[in-house]
Amino acid sequence: MRATRRLGVFLKPYWLWATLAPLLMALEVAMDLMQPRLIQRIVDQGIARGDMGVVIETGAWMVGLALIGLAAGLGCGVCAIIAAQHFGADLRGTLFGKVQALSFGNLDHLETGKLITRLTNDATQVQEVVAMLLRIMVRVPLLLIGSLIRAILTSPELSLLFVVLMPIVLLALVWIVNRTYPLFTRVQQELDTLNTVMQENLSGLRVVRAFARGKHEVRRFGQTNDTLMERNTAASRMTALTMPLMMLTLNMGVVAAVWIGGVRIVGGELQVGELIAFTNYLMQTLMSLMMISMLVVRLSRAEASAERLREVLDSEPTVTSRPGAITTFAPEGRVVFEDVCFSYDPNGHDPVLRDINLIAEPGQTIALLGATGAGKTSLVNLIPRFYDAQSGRVMIDGVDVRDINEEALRGKIGVALQESILFTGTIRDNIRYGHPEASDEEVIEAARMAQVDDFIRRFPDGYDSIVGQRGVNLSGGQKQRIAIARALLTRPTILILDDSTSAVDGETEARIQGELARLHQTRFVVAQRISTVLTADKILVLDDGRIVAEGSHDELLSSSPIYQEIFDSQMERGGVLHGAA
């Protein structure tokens, strides 16, 4: 229950609706509780005495009170829905905002698939339970206590029946809840697995196709699907089985009441109407008890969802702005790494970068070369503070990046990430993403420099062409170049290109480099091909998280065996010659 209660804050702004709903429900319950009492009056004072007036008058009262009850019930439903829907919308909004505030480090743990389930399925689960709570949570206890009291008032002698019935029903309920609770927990777990399998598959559908693993995936999904069905059936069978059992107990109670009551009526100690009223209250009491057991099960399912939401809500961004961080930042672009060590593990195990020292003067191009997994992406990600160094410092113009407000910092750094992701929308909007106020001329200029202007113009809609989800209707190299244009448009002081021309042919790459060379900015260029780094002011060769060689192309060629090795292997394939042209 803790996690569910923790979400209660989202109901606070709607406290009026959230209080009105139970109040109206209380009114409805009050009306419900009056009915058996009025039936009793019709029977005992109307029918038994042949008094038509009492019958008509009481009947009219019954209809009137029922109508009030109906109105109150409807009102309660409306209020509960308003409160719950607003609650849900705010919850989703807050979750989304939270996700936006998270750092790269957090996102390494909360995968997209999981986040989608949380923002949709889990949020809805909790929202539904809130709507239910606002109605039933009040109804059930009120009805239980109210009808118990009325039953005792109606016939204290018959009420002794409760002493026998209540323990039986309570025991049965505890047993049922104990049996169904774990069953429903397992249903929820299996539902999670199903969601995961489904999401992984939908996002990786192309891989599945490419490896012709469709049948295998269908089988895998089928297994999970079947397990879910079995568990659901087991849980439902349990509930289905218990219903008749409960009804049996209930009916036995009624039979006992009628039997004992009948004897007393014959003896003249009880009136028929009283008996009818009593059995009515008896049934309401026992029914309320059954409702409680259902509530418990439902709540426990929501608790699992609430717990998952709590995990998102409580995750703190791993990278945050320090109080007093610099908010106006106009650097020249001198980047310095001082003894930087970095690990993806919060405790610093398995460092990915070790003792990194480097100086990039304003306007210099620094190239990072190294095998995959060497730590190139990790290194450049420290400059815009996607992650924070474990020890050592990263400084821009002598200021530790941790002392600069994140937005101010990132506003000066243009990044083309290793994986070029485009959003659904026009090509123009994609290029403008980091600088939405940019004019069309600026967009075209950036595109021209990134060598995409030509092919964009060849589309029928030019810059207004729509890019599909994840940019499916563009080639890898085209996407990379749009990502470069996007980074260039923000006119950054520091530009980071993480393997951004890996899918671009050598000739085009050389042309992009030629354009970039005319800009005065500090550039970090990550590459696998030597052709990409030939003209760099400084080339850093990374190996297993360490800088193992450093210098210009010519220097490295004569001094670094590793560099020579890379050079030779690429020469054989002719890549360098092509790129150097």
Binding region for ligand DCP (CB under 6 A): 108, 344, 352, 370, 372-378, 418, 499
| 542, 376 Cβ separation under 8 angstroms | yes
Q: Which is nearer to Mg ion, 69 or 370 (CB)?
A: 370
Nearest distance in Å: CB 379, Mg ion = 9
Nearest distance in Å: CB 108, ligand DCP = 5
Rg over alpha carbons for the chain, rounded to the nearest Å, is 36
Using CB distances below 5 to 8 A depending on partner kind, what does residue 331 bind out of ligand DCP, Mg ion, none?
Answer: none
Burial class (CB in 10 A: 0-12, 13-18, 19+), 349: exposed
> 304: helix, coil or strand?
helix
Strands 522-527 and 494-498: parallel
Using CB distances below 5 to 8 A depending on partner kind, what does residue 92 bind out of ligand DCP, Mg ion, none?
Answer: none
Nearest distance in Å: CB 239, ligand DCP = 44
Residue count, binding to Mg ion (CB under 5 A): 2
Q: Which is nearer to ligand DCP, 84 or 483 (CB)?
A: 483
Check binding of 418 to Mg ion (CB under 5 A): yes
Stretch touching Mg ion by CB under 5 A, among 6-14, 117-125, 160-168, 372-380: 372-380
127, 154, 271, 377: which one binds Mg ion (CB under 5 A): 377
DSSP 3-state percent helix, strand, coil across the chain (nearest 5): 65, 10, 20
Q: Which is nearer to ligand DCP, 17 or 563 (CB)?
A: 563
Q: Which is nearer to ligand DCP, 344 or 567 (CB)?
A: 344
Nearest distance in Å: CB 352, ligand DCP = 4
Nearest distance in Å: CB 496, Mg ion = 11
Q: What is the DSSP letter of 528?
A: S
Stretch touching Mg ion by CB under 5 A, among 298-306, 352-360, 374-382, 485-493: 374-382
Nearest distance in Å: CB 349, ligand DCP = 11
C-alpha 214/C-alpha 207 separation (Å) is 10
Q: How crowded is residue 12: how many other Cβ atoms within 10 Å of its Cβ?
A: 10
Q: What is the DSSP letter of 322?
A: P
Using CB distances below 5 to 8 A depending on partner kind, what does residue 385 bind out of ligand DCP, Mg ion, none?
Answer: none
Q: Which is nearer to ligand DCP, 304 or 542 (CB)?
A: 542
| 127, 7 Cβ separation under 8 angstroms | no
Using CB distances below 5 to 8 A depending on partner kind, what does residue 86 bind out of ligand DCP, Mg ion, none?
Answer: none
The residue with its CB nearest to Mg ion is 377
Q: Is 333 left (phi over 0), alpha (psi -120 to 50) or beta?
A: left
Sign of CA dihedral 438, 441, 444, 450: negative
Give me 427's structure tokens: 């090509």
Nearest distance in Å: CB 403, Mg ion = 27
For 495, phi then psi, to 5°, come to -115, 130
H or E element, residue 539? strand 538-543
Q: Which is nearer to ligand DCP, 46 or 545 (CB)?
A: 545
Nearest distance in Å: CB 402, ligand DCP = 20
| 340, 382 Cβ separation under 8 angstroms | yes
Using CB distances below 5 to 8 A depending on partner kind, what does residue 373 bind out of Mg ion, ligand DCP, none?
Answer: ligand DCP
Q: Which is nearer to ligand DCP, 41 or 376 (CB)?
A: 376
Nearest distance in Å: CB 344, ligand DCP = 4
| 296, 177 Cβ separation under 8 angstroms | yes
| 199, 116 Cβ separation under 8 angstroms | yes
Q: Which is nearer to Mg ion, 285 or 377 (CB)?
A: 377
Nearest distance in Å: CB 314, ligand DCP = 21
Stretch touching Mg ion by CB under 5 A, among 120-128, 171-179, 266-274, 411-419: 411-419
Nearest distance in Å: CB 385, Mg ion = 17
Strand partners, 391: 341
| 368, 540 Cβ separation under 8 angstroms | yes
In the region spanning residues 161 to 180, those forming contacts with Mg ion, defined by CB under 5 A, are: none
Check binding of 502 to Mg ion (CB under 5 A): no
Q: Which is nearer to ligand DCP, 426 or 528 (CB)?
A: 528
Q: Is 342 left (phi over 0), alpha (psi -120 to 50) or beta?
A: beta
C-alpha 388/C-alpha 516 separation (Å) is 28
| 98, 315 Cβ separation under 8 angstroms | yes
Distances (CA, A) of 18 to 15, 50, 255: 5, 47, 40
Q: Which amino acid is at 337?
A: F
Nearest distance in Å: CB 453, Mg ion = 27
Stretch touching Mg ion by CB under 5 A, among 132-140, 163-171, 256-264, 413-421: 413-421
Using CB distances below 5 to 8 A depending on partner kind, what does residue 372 bind out of Mg ion, ligand DCP, none?
Answer: ligand DCP
Q: What is the 3-state secondary structure (H, E, C) of 411-471?
A: HCEEEECCCCCCCCEEHHHHHHHHCCCCCHHHHHHHHHHCCCHHHHHHCCCHHHCEECHHH
Q: Which is nearer to ligand DCP, 108 or 226 (CB)?
A: 108
Q: Which is nearer to ligand DCP, 217 or 498 (CB)?
A: 498
H or E element, residue 389? none
Stretch touching Mg ion by CB under 5 A, among 135-143, 415-423, 535-543, 569-577: 415-423
Q: Which is nearer to ligand DCP, 104 or 455 (CB)?
A: 104
Residues near Mg ion (CB under 5 A) are 377, 418
